Every structure is written in structure tokens, then in C-alpha cells.
Amino acid sequence: MRRYKYLEKMFEEEMKKVLVFIKGFTPSERTKLARMTALWLVNGSVPPNVLLVLNNEHLIKDGIAIDFLIEVFVAFKQEKGISYLVQALKKGGLESK
């Protein structure tokens, strides 16, 4: 169990690193990553607060962060519904961002 928690935390940290550098991905790669991120959020592999790294000036000014988040939210909503999405955002402290 302890090893699982370590791997879970490690995956979370690696996801944050990847998301900070999404500008280096092509638009189609970002779409795929957004959809996978949504699935990982839905199944609990990563916590919603990993999305906070998108609150980065270079991602916001180019519109990359918002496009990515919209794709994540659409995929998440399709999997679990809007109420579960709102719950996850509140749990991750993202509702005010």
C-alpha cells in the first residue's frame, strides 16, 4: 500500500511537469493529452489540483490553457456528468480559479 501511494504521488508530480510544458505539444497531441487527463481525473489516478499548473502566464496569454481545460472538462463531463465535474473542481480547489 505504501508503494502504491509513492507511485501515485510520483505520477501526480510528473503530470504537473507535463502540463507546464503543453505548449510544446501539437494541437492534436494536446487534445489527446486533455482527454487522457480527464480519464485519469475521473478514475482518481491524479487529483484535480494538477490542473492548477495551467494557471501560468505563458499558457494563459496564448489561450493554450483555456483550450486544454475546455477539452478536459468536455471529456470529464461525458464520462461522469456535470455534477461530478463540479464536485471534482471543488475538491481540487479549482472552483474559484
The residues near 48 (Cβ < 8 Å, ≥ 6 apart) are: 41, 88, 89, 91, 92, 93, 94
Q: Model confidence over 9-66: pLDDT tens digits?
A: 899 999 999 999 999 999 999 999 999 999 999 998 999 999 999 998 989 999 999 9
The structure's pTM equals 0.88
Q: What is the DSSP string of 62-85?
A: TTHHHHHHHHHHHHHHHHH-HHHH
Domains of the chain by residue range:
2-91
